[in-house]
Amino acid sequence: MSGYNENSSWEKDINRPVVIQKDGIYHMWYTGQADGHSWIGYAISKDGKYWTRRSTKPVLSPAAAWEKTSVMCPHVIWDMQDKLFKMWYSGGEQYEPDAIGYATSKDGLNWVKYINNPVFSNNTHNEWEQAKVTACQVIKRSTDYLMFYIGFKNIDYAQIGMARSKDGITAWERFKENPIIKPGIGWDSSAVYKPYAIPENDRWLLYYNGRREGHEQIGIAIHKGPDLEF
């Protein structure tokens, strides 16, 4: 599986993957892009190195009005209790999508979008996320779903926040102290985005992309203690 597929009309560029392991197989959902549009594809691997596409067509395509030209940035979990793959994805503009939708699948290939998408949109009363919310990571906890997401003050200025929901779909409650990660004064002074958090024993590790003007790098933030107080 290469980065450029010259035989495809929808994945001339591929990026922003999510990978999970289930039943000894690695499952990847990724963004395919071409001609100003984005779609989501699906591939599997036995070793995490060599991948086989499960379909020559996207498994998720923009169709609803709010999705405009693009669906991208998939985040997928396997819910053992519900026996479902659950996906949160971003939809809207190609440069930066606008909101977050939700879809489910029994096999990872055939997806059903939630009827009332998007499930998470920008709050115009919060200046830091007044323009867009995108590219989330969702973690299922014992009593709720925890989301890390990007909020855009404007198309260029991004920060990271948290929200939670009992069912991972409705009634999202934002963390009162949002944003939890803000641009600094050096390498990440222009924007911080693309969060991925990992709970590790007595702390949380949050990896994120930081940008200073046109130069982008990866950083880490550490929260001491397993309790996020949220």
The residues, any chain, with a CB within 8 Å of residue 167's CB and separated by 6 or more, are: 145
Cα gap 119→203, rounded to integer Å: 29
Tell me the fold of 1-119.
Tachylectin-2; Chain A (2.115.10)
List the pLDDT tens digit at each of the 230 positions of the chain. 555 666 789 999 999 999 999 999 999 999 999 999 999 999 999 999 999 999 999 999 999 999 999 999 999 999 999 999 999 999 999 999 999 999 999 999 999 999 999 999 999 999 999 999 999 999 999 999 999 999 999 999 999 999 999 999 999 999 999 999 999 999 999 999 999 999 999 999 999 999 999 999 999 999 999 999 99
CB 23 within 8 A of CB 41: no
Query: Pick from 190, 195, 166: which is nearest to 178 by CA?
Result: 195
3-state secondary structure of 66: helix
Cα gap 96→196, rounded to integer Å: 18
Please tell me the pTM assigned to this model. Answer: 0.96
Domain-by-domain residue ranges, the chain? 1-119, 126-230
Query: Pick from 224, 220, 95, 116: which is nearest to 170 by CA?
Result: 116
In this structure, the strands spanning 132-140 and 112-113 are unpaired
